[in-house]
């Protein structure tokens, strides 16, 4: 498998092209650090964008959809989608208002989503299995990762040369998503141990 995704007319980053990333490992790392994606699709000419949970397994993205949603109602055999994922790593406060920015990592994936017949590893076998009504109400879709690009901004403030002498604080406010201690549900029996995967999750996926 190639280390880079091919650059297509649909995935080529045009604005701030120096921030474009097509490296497979970097893109997968961004996807693995995120929990929520936004799925864009069109039904009868009307565009919709919905947030939903997702996970990457190998070269596939899996995301959740309600069987009653517009997305699933518009799904026959497959549905053209645009999936976006964005992580904000910091607020960049420059000396000029115009040069304020954010450090971020974003991914755009395009393709045909398809429904699969029936994600934290180990949870499926622990939890109560879905009944028929619940199975009919919930669907999981998959999208092969073939047409993908990322855009990443890292680093320091970038001011115009003449603004560096302006007497105002400039710098970066880092932002992090951090998992805390697992919190037991009030109605969960105290003799049931917290599973190891709940503690391991603190280190990321």
Could you list the pLDDT tens digit for every one of the 205 residues in the chain? 789 999 999 999 999 999 999 999 999 999 999 999 999 999 889 999 999 999 999 999 999 876 557 676 666 568 899 999 999 999 999 999 999 999 999 999 999 999 876 545 666 677 787 777 766 666 789 999 999 999 999 999 999 999 999 999 999 999 998 888 899 999 999 999 999 888 887 554 4
Query: What is the Cα–Cα distance from 187 to 185, expressed in whole angstroms?
Result: 5
The answer to whether position 200 is within a domain reads no
The CA angle 197-90-168, to the nearest 5 degrees, is 155
Query: What is the Cα–Cα distance from 11 to 82, expressed in whole angstroms?
Result: 11
Expressed as residue numbers, the domain containing 46 is 17-89+100-156
Query: What is the Cα–Cα distance from 57 to 84, expressed in whole angstroms?
Result: 17
The answer to whether position 49 is within a domain reads yes
- What is the model's pTM? 0.82
The answer to whether position 110 is within a domain reads yes
Q: What CATH code is carried by the domain that includes residue 49?
A: 2.30.110.10
**Cβ atoms < 10 Å from Cβ of 167:** 5
Domain count, the chain: 1
The answer to whether position 6 is within a domain reads no
The answer to whether position 114 is within a domain reads yes
The answer to whether position 29 is within a domain reads yes
The answer to whether position 48 is within a domain reads yes
The string of DSSP codes covering 76-110 is SS-EEEEEEEEEEEEEEE-SSGGG-EEEEEEEEEE
The answer to whether position 34 is within a domain reads yes
């Amino acid at each position: 498998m190639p280390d880079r995704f091919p650059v297509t007319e649909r995935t080529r980053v045009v604005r701030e092209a120096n921030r474009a990333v097509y490296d497979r490992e970097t893109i997968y790392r961004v996807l693995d650090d995120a929990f929520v994606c936004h799925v864009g699709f069109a039904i009868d000419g009307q565009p919709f964008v919905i947030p939903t949970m997702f996970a990457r397994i190998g070269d596939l993205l899996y995301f959740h959809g309600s069987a009653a949603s517009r997305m699933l109602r518009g799904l026959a055999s497959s549905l053209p989608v645009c999936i976006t994922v964005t992580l904000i790593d910091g607020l960049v406060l420059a000396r000029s208002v115009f040069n304020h920015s954010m450090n971020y990592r974003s991914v755009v994936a395009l393709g045909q989503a398809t429904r699969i017949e029936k994600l934290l590893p180990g949870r499926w076998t622990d939890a109560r299995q879905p009944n028929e009504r619940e199975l009919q109400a919930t669907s999981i879709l998959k999208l092969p990762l073939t047409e993908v690009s990322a855009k990443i901004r890292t680093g320091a403030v970038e001011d115009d040369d003449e603004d560096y002498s302006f007497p105002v604080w400039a710098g970066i406010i880092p932002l992090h998503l951090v998992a805390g201690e697992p919190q037991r549900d009030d109605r969960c029996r105290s003799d049931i141990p917290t599973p190891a995967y709940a503690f391991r999750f603190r280190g990321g996926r």
